[in-house]
Amino acid sequence: MDARPTLLVIAHGSRDPRHAATVSALCARVRSLRPGLRVEVGYLDFNAPRVPRVLERLSAEGVREVVALPLLLTRAFHAKSDIPSVLREATARLPLLTVRQADVLGPSSLLTGALERRLAQAGLRPGDRRSTGVVLASAGSSDPEAIAVIAEIAREWRHTAGWCAVRPAFASASLPRTADAVRELRAEGVGRVAVAPYVIAPGFLPDRIAAGAREARADVLAPVLGAAPELARLLLRRYDRSVADRARGDLAALIA
């Protein structure tokens, strides 16, 4: 059996079939980048298999270590409470299985790289940057930490990429909405406005982002991040960090 921990990607789940299809495509890309690494998917809601069932199956098959990686862009409720609770309850019944929760995906320069890839696919060219304002449209959260992270990503992205402006927007829980952010940029004299969905897979909230972009007549609407190669590399980066942290912890315990 492969000595490396199994990678369990934990997705939220959605009634929209495009969600699970996108997660599957992303995990397939991860497997192609790291042949031999076992990559499984578990869902919190709506889709199967659910996380506890995946862990039970892995334990029954003799797997002893799992890195559980939240397919989340910010550290909000699901990463802080929901997922740890699900993992604790499942592993309490599986004493032979060790599960370590990895960090969420964002923020990362790989994510802004993926956003730029999607904007380029939507028609923006490198020479358009200084005349284009970007709406960084995320799903939204009631967690102040998550909202602050999105605002900081917007500021940093504008600084490093040279966009005319980058304005955060949210599909739920927080303001401004996508349409309002597009209108604000127009009111400030920005000639071209692009909406970059900061979401991984299609679904209800990404559709709301797209509807807001169309309502305010944004010039460019990029696709969701999806199975972008940058995103696949980021999953492996978070996995590797978790494995390395575990190894350092074991070494420290041995020395002590």
pLDDT tens digits along 206-244 = 999 999 999 999 999 999 999 999 999 999 999 999 999
Whole-number mean pLDDT of the chain?
A: 95
Return the structure tokens found at 47: 């889709």
Q: How are beta strands 220-221 and 98-101 bridged, if at all?
A: unpaired
pLDDT at 198: 98
Mean pLDDT, residues 120-136: 96
pTM: 0.94
Which residues are CB-neighbours of 68 under 8 A, at least 6 positions away?
8, 10, 51, 83, 87, 99, 100, 101, 102
Amino acid of residue 27: C
Instruction: Give, as one character, the DSSP assignment of residue 222.
Output: P
The 10s digit of each residue's pLDDT in 72-105 is: 999 988 899 999 999 999 999 999 999 999 999 9
pLDDT at 256: 46
Least confident of 1-10, 108-117, 217-226: 1-10
The position carrying tokens 């930490």 is 145
Whole-number Å distance between alpha carbons of 45 and 57? 18
Query: CA angle at residue 133 from 129 to 139, to 5 degrees?
Result: 120
Q: Is the pLDDT of residue 1 over 80?
A: no
Counted residue by residue, the chain has a size of 256
Beta bridge partners of 137: 169, 197
pLDDT at 127: 94
